Structure 1
Amino acid sequence: MGRYSFLFSFLLLSALCNSSQASAAQLNQTQANHLGKLFEILQSNLSVPSGHLNNSINTNRCNWTGVTCISHASSTVVSKLSFSDLGISSFNSSSLAAFFDHLCSLDTLQYLDLSSNGLRSLPDSFSNCTGLSGLKYLNLRNTELYSPIPDFSKFGHLEILDLSSNYLTDIDLNPLIRLESLKELVLSWNNFTAFKSSTPIPPSFFGVQTRPQFTRCIFLSPPDDIFKHGNLTLLDLSHNQLTGSIPEEFNNLTKLDLSYNNLTGELYADLLSAPTLESIDLTSNCLTGSIPVNLSRILYQIRLGGNQLNGTLPTSIGELSQLSYLELDGNNLSGEIPPEMGNLSNLVVIELQMNKISGRIPNQISNLVNLNTLNLSQNALSGEIPSQISDLQKLSNLNLQGNNLSGSIPTTISNMVSLIELQLGENKLNGTIPEMPSSLTTALNLSHNCFSGSIPSSSFSKSPQLEILDLSHNNFSGPLPDSLTTLQFLTLLDLSDNNLAGTLPTFHRWVNVIITGNALLSNSSQVSQSKRKMHPSLDIMLSFELGAFVGIFVGMFLGTYGFDKIQFDRSL
């Protein structure tokens, strides 16, 4: 499964605590025989090397790769088998049938992982297997299963079933109805088009009974009742083909993920106000309308990016003291950033890019002391970059590109000790480029602004690991400072469309220097200005390949004309 269950970890904890003692003991003879047969089948059918094939040298089968044993009722038994990504689909039909027959004989098995094996279907003998009635975890993720869904009714104690990343196109609840112990059903990354049941769904399936059920459940196209299920806490329908609108009622959900579907309609007023709601992800749908004002006070994640939402950012966001992730990018939001957002001291990520947000960046943003990523690019923000932004000592990525920001870059930006990427292109910034922080490594983009005069030699002296520097489409003039050649990690330097003059200094051969649009800047010391230069590692690789070619040619020549006469000193 993509996300491992806390529930099953807890269930196995006591078993794993005994596993070291169990591994020292021998299995009972019946289980030892079945386990031996399983690995004989693996050894005779697998065409690629696997750690499972080295098990024969270890006489204690509880120490074999993929096997976990526990002490149970004064004996040692198998509790867990992991056969992930072994190419079981390549078995011939008789070997495959025998493999599952021996699996079904391990009646103490609680955990079985058959993921990433390309099975396409399960043999009937496995679906009818009564020997695995105590199985609690079954992982069939990425096994290329096709509809209909297999019958798991014989696995009466199954609590976790992972069928994600397969080719299931619909789901009939009937094979699952009798799984009364089921708490986690993972069906994400399929191609479901329907959710049906030819027989009435018993109340126990929806958790009406007192015992807890479906504490985590992943469905596609579920009936409305599933949203009303009183024990359901996590509902993940992401990465499927859901259409229609979001149901208006769900009871005790803490996490709702409907991202990457084709949902339409508006966000209803109380969607985000459920008192138990902690996280909502509706990314990449076709949702419209405004962001609701009523918000759950315990929300720590709001992801609504990639929709068609409009309206303004509600000031009530400032009341979400636990909010860590706010992602509203790629919508049609307008208005200003509310100063109340400065109350959100736990925010780690703000992504508001590609909207129509206007006004100034509020000074209160300096209160977001835990902020790591701030992306306000491609909006209509104006005014100056507030100097208070430099108080964000944990900020690593700052993107303000594509706005109408003016004035100069705050000189205090050199104090931002965690900043690795700074994107300020496509604004109206001017003045002198201040000294950049030593942490700046990934990129500095100042293109398409109004900078003029000479490029200061000290601006990048404390950023020797900078990889990309874009100063294009400004009004820089005069000669290029030699200090730029000391940036040892630089791979791209874009100086195009300025008024630079003089002779271009000599850069390392792996630096791609772009100087087009500088009529007075000569390139006499460089290779063609449009040629991509190689990093040393690439140069060495090409030299090695050339040397290998020459070596092969020489070898062929010597083989023809007396290679046996040449003596080699083996001590070299």
Structure 2
Amino acid sequence: MISDQGIAIKFVLVILLYVFVSGDEEVRCIERERDALLSFKNGLIDAEFDDLSSWQNNECCAWNGVECSNATGHVIALKVNGVVVKDSGKMAYSLLELHHLKYLDLSVNDFGCIPIPESIGSMKQLQHLTIEESNLCGSVPPQLGNLTNLRILDLSHNFLSSISSFTLGSVLESLEVLKLSYNKLNGSIPDLKAFPSLKELHLGKNNFTGSIPLSIGHLSKLQLLYLSFNSLEGLVPLSIGQLSELQDLDLSYNSLAGVISESHFIKLIKLKSLDLSFNPLLILEIAPDWSPPFCCLSSLYLTRCNVGPYFPKWIRSQTNLSILDLRDAKIRDEVPRWLWSTSNLLKSLYLSDNLISGTIPNLSSTSILSMDVSYNQFSGPIPLFPANATDILLSGNMFSGSISSICQTIHGHLEYIDLSNNLLAGDVPNCWKNIPNLHSLNLANNSFSGEIPASLGTLHNLGALQMHGNELCGELPYTLRLCQALQMIDVGGNKLTGEIPTWIGQLYKLQILNLRGNKLHGEIPLQICNLTSIKVLDMSINNLSSIIPDCFNSFTVLASKDSTFFDLFLFDPIYIINEKKHNGYSSFQWKGKESEFWDNLALLKLIDFSSNRLTGNIPKSFCTLRGLISLNLSRNSLKGYIILDIGNMEVLDSLDLSHNQLYGKIPTSLAEIHNLGFLDLSNNNFSGKIPTSTQLQSFNVSSYAENDGLCGDPLPKCPGDSLRPSTPNPEENMNEKDGINFSFMQEVGISMAFGFIFGFWGVIGSFIWKKSWRIAFFNLLDAAGDWFYVRIVVFVSKWR
């Protein structure tokens, strides 16, 4: 009798022999399924990855994206990406022939905004269905509820608009992962009791409304819950605190309200990431001595929640924190000393927009790489940072003293420094070669003095240089021409001298140039017209003289009146830290007032040459700037007419030509700028009647004041208005008809030319044509010559 041990050994040998033999056999494609795949291919256009090029021979199990069972040869997995669906009906019908399909991935395709085919609900063997980012529209069909073996369903990054509770019925008890984020799903979140196996629920970036269903607490196996970026409101249910397996909880960017207490976390012992940010009506009422059930949070986001007024002490227990975000959390407290040593893993610390006070110690031995404590009440010197830090944002505080300590460390990874709006003073250090990868430097609104250091020219990746509102002197360093990545130079409000350098025209990526409020002199260089990408050009409040160069037709960005979605991202120096945009701010003259521009700075289109000593005419090329929003040429010595085609500047919102020596009539095309919200033509020599339009008559009298020859609404009526229609100026009509606008000196020159032609050549031509006139003229000249000779001789004799 064979022993049990012998039977077991023989059984193992038989299995191994089967595996060895079957491993040598090539899996054969089943003809019916091969035909179905070829029919499926005929409904597609392989546009992206060219994976379907291998679908040619008879062995479909060797085709790209196709996997067959080693035991049966049936197709069990299909992955097709990067195609355009030209016949959805044929595609869906062909898939039904794959009766053993368990894995179907049709992500990153273009379905042409069709609904999900209802026939997919007949593929009962499916365990994994992914149709992510495939341009699907319409509703999620209830037939998907028939897929009782489904464990993973991913329909994210589409344009799906609705989903019914029947779709998510108890036929889906095996579902473990449900991803519907980045769609347009609306209505309430369906009841969730029917998912006892669910581990991941992704519903973020939709349009869900209403409250979080209480049934969320029945998902006892849930590990990840993402409901961010919806319009959810109401209270956060206490049942969330029963999810003992939960690791990631994200309820950010909603309109949730009410109190979050210790009860919401009572069983969340495995919680690693918590994000309640951007729910401004959410209040955290946590006892100061609370000991959370979780110990190992790696990330905590409470931005714009009501956390304060005191700094939450329970954070001290989280020794694994890597990211701490308490921006705008209504904290009015002194920063606790333990914060800087709570976690050896802390890499990102964001405390901006609170009222936190205190000092910051030496951080060079910490793990902090990115820190934003802007707009608080921190004081003391600028701390030292680790050598591998990437972002240092300390603006809007009371830091004081020198920043020479920045020279003590080589920061090879540092990209963004913002020390603006503090009490810092002294020279700007000349050690920027130690920070070779710096992208943005903002030292604005401090008390820095001395010259702008030449070592800034070593920063070849520098995109934004903001130093306005200091006491800097000297000239712009010549080395800045080497910073070819510069898109923004803002050095307004200093004491810079010298002329505007011609090399500024070599910075071809420059979009914002602010030289406002300095002591610059000389002329505006012609090279400025090489800045084809310029959007903001401010040279106001200086001592610039001479004429304005007439070459603005080269400003291609300002020539476009359409602001596209791309414009939002055109300005690279805008940097993002945890979805908070920073591009500092700049101050400009806007509609007659000093205005600050923050996140909208990248969309501003402005030219300001005001308060200088500029002469000559208004350049005609201004009329090509169809996208310009604000033009200020006031307080100069400009002469001549307003350019007749000024109406081409269709989106102009602010126009200031006041305090010049301009004359003539206001061109009728100015009335065609329907967006004009601010106009100042005062203190000039304009004459004639103000053109009639809804726009020009809506401005105050002060917009036209101190122009003695100007009349018409809103000023007093012109003489004779009640008796007869106003008589147009013949000279202006002639110029408008010809499309020409001459200055006074140009008109004098033209008159002299015509006088010479008709006077001189008229006489000479007559002498040539008639001989008797010629003889009489020269006899007269001889007689006159003799008379002058006698008179001179007599005069000389008497004088002697």
TM-score band by shorter chain is 0.7 to 0.9
Q: Residue 76 of structure 2: which of 67, 76, 79 is its match?
A: 79
The answer to whether the 8 Å contact 1:291/1:311 transfers is no
Say yes or no: does 1:154 pair with 2:179: no
Q: 1:443 maps to what in 2?
A: 440
Match of 2:127 among 122, 136, 139: 136
Cα deviation 1:415-442 (Å, max 9, x = unaligned): 1332121111111110121223233420
User: Helix, strand or coil for the counterpart of 2:101?
Assistant: coil
Partners of 1:247 and 1:529 in 2: how far apart? 61
Corresponding residue for residue 180 of structure 2: 187
Cα deviation digits, residues 204-228 of structure 1 (max 9, x gap): x343xxxxx2121235655323224
Partner of residue 31, structure 1: 33
Please tell me whether the aligned partners of residues 27 and 68 of structure 2 are also in contact (alpha carbons under 8 angstroms).
no
Inter-CA distance 318–528: structure 2 relative to 1 (3 Å threshold): farther
Which of the pair has the greater relative contact order for Cα pairs under 8 Å at 6+ separation? 1
Partner of 1:419: 414
What is the aligned counterpart of 1:399 among 373, 393, 416?
393
Q: Could you list the per-position Cα deviations for residues 29-81 of structure 1 after superposition, in whole angstroms to 9, with x for gaps in the alignment? A: 22112112212333xxx49687255345444333434x2213431x4332222
Task: Find out whether 1:378 has 2:375 as its counterpart.
Answer: yes
CA distance in 2, matches of 1:488, 1:302: 39
Q: Taking structure 1 as reference, are residues 40 and 462 closer, same or farther at Cα in structure 2, changes over 3 Å only?
A: closer
Q: Displacement of 1:173 after TM fit?
A: 4.3
Letter in 2 for 1:355: N
Would you say 1:329 and 2:324 are equivalent positions? no
Q: SS state of the match for residue 444, structure 1?
A: strand
Q: Does 1:289 align with 2:289?
A: no
Query: 2:200 corresponds to which residue?
Result: 216
TM-score (norm 2): 0.56
| Aligned residue runs from structure 1 range 11-160, under 5 A | 25-42=27-44, 46=45, 51=50, 54-65=53-64, 67-73=65-71, 75-84=72-81, 86-88=83-85, 90-91=86-87, 96-115=88-107, 116=109, 117-118=111-112, 120-127=114-121, 129=122, 132-142=123-133, 143-147=135-139, 149-160=141-152
Q: Distance in 2 between matches of 1:308 and 1:507?
A: 51
In structure 2, the partner of 1:237 is 227
Q: SS in structure 2 opposite 1:283?
A: coil
Q: Distance in 1 between matches of 2:119 and 2:460?
A: 65
Q: How does 1:173-572 map to 2 (within 5 A)?
A: 173=166, 175-189=168-182, 190-196=184-190, 205-207=194-196, 213-219=197-203, 223-248=213-238, 249-252=241-244, 253-271=246-264, 274-290=268-284, 292=286, 294=290, 295=292, 296-343=294-341, 344-360=343-359, 362-363=360-361, 365-369=363-367, 371-386=368-383, 389-390=384-385, 392-415=386-409, 416-434=411-429, 435-436=431-432, 437-458=434-455, 460=456, 463-511=459-507, 512=510, 513-519=513-519, 521-524=520-523, 526-527=525-526, 532=531
Change (3 A) 1:303 1:175: closer
SS for the counterpart of 2:447 is coil
**Aligned-residue offset at 1:504:** 4.2
Report the alpha carbon displacement of residue 175 of structure 1 after superposing the two structures with TM: 4.6
Q: What per-residue deviation string (whole Å, max 9, x for no partner) do you get for residues 125-177 of structure 1? A: 332x1xx3221111234543434642224322110012334433353146531
- Counterpart-to-counterpart distance in 2, 1:50 and 1:269: 51
Letter in 1 for 2:276: L
Question: How many percent of aligned residue pairs carry the same amino acid?
Answer: 27
Give, as a single letter, the amino acid of the residue that structure 2 aligns with 1:352.
Answer: L
Rounded to whole Å, the distance in 1 between the matches of 2:329 and 2:49 is 49
What is the distance in 2 between the residues matched to 1:193 and 1:206? 20
Task: Indicate the SS of the match to 1:235.
Answer: strand
- The verdict on how the C-alpha distance between 1:287 and 1:173 changes in structure 2, with shifts beyond 3 A counting, is farther
Amino acid at match of 1:311: P
**3-state DSSP of counterpart to 2:74:** strand
Compute the RMSD of aligned alpha carbons.
3.2
Quote the Cα distance in structure 2 between the aligned partners of 1:22 and 1:505. Answer: 77
**Aligned residue identity for 2:471:** N
Q: Cα distance 1:482–1:98, how it changes in 2: closer, same or farther (>3 A)?
A: closer
Given the superposition, is the C-alpha separation of residues 40 and 534 from structure 1 closer, same or farther in structure 2, using an over 3 Å criterion?
A: closer
Q: Deviations over 1:76-130 (max 9, x none)?
A: 3322223445343x53xxxx44432221221221221234524543444332x1x
Corresponding residue number in structure 2 for 1:549: none
Structure whose CA Rg is larger: 2
Show structure 1 runs of 5+ residues with no match: 1-20, 208-212, 536-541, 543-572
Looking at structure 2, the residues matched to 465 and 225 of structure 1 have their Cα atoms a distance apart, in angstroms, of 52
**TM-score (normalised: structure 1):** 0.76
Aligned-pair CA distance for 1:277? 0.8
Amino acid at match of 1:158: L
SS in 2 for 1:507: helix
Give distance in 1, aligned partners of 2:24 and 2:275.
44
CA contact (8 A) 1:414 1:438 kept: no
C-alpha spacing 1:179/1:372, structure 2 compared with 1 (3 Å): same
AA aligned opposite 2:225 = L
Deviations 1:235-254 (A, max 9, x none): 11122221112122332211
Q: CA deviation at 1:449?
A: 0.8
Q: Give the residue type in structure 1 aligned to 2:198.
A: F
Distance 2:284 2:52 in 1: 59
Structure 2: runs of 5 or more not aligned:
1-22, 535-553, 555-800
2: CA distance between counterparts of 1:487 and 1:33? Answer: 61
Q: Distance in 2 between matches of 1:381 and 1:22?
A: 72
Kindly indicate whether the alpha-carbon contact (under 8 Å) linking 2:469 and 2:494 is maintained by their aligned counterparts in 1.
Answer: yes
Residues 54 and 464 of structure 1, relative CA distance in 2, 3 Å threshold = closer
**Kept in 2: contact 1:39–1:52 (CA 8 A):** no
Contact 1:510 1:533 in 2 (8 A): no
Rounded Cα–Cα distance in structure 1 between residues aligned with 2:394 and 2:305:
21
Tell me which amino acid in the other structure corresponds to 2:237: P
Question: Could you tell me how far apart the structure 2 residues matched to 1:486 and 1:125 are?
Answer: 62
Preserved contact between residue 495 and residue 515 of structure 1 (Cα < 8 Å): yes
Tell me what 1:562 maps to: none
For 1:266, the aligned partner's letter is: V
Amino acid at match of 2:317: E
In structure 2, what residue type is equivalent to 1:518? N
Conserved 8 A contact 2:381-2:399: yes
CA offset digits 1:450-482 (Å, max 9, x no partner): 112333445x36534433222211111234443
Structure 2 CA distance for aligned equivalents of residues 140 and 100 of structure 1: 13
Contact 1:288-1:310 within 8 A present in 2 as well: no
Does the Cα contact within 8 Å between 1:153 and 1:175 map onto a contact in 2? yes
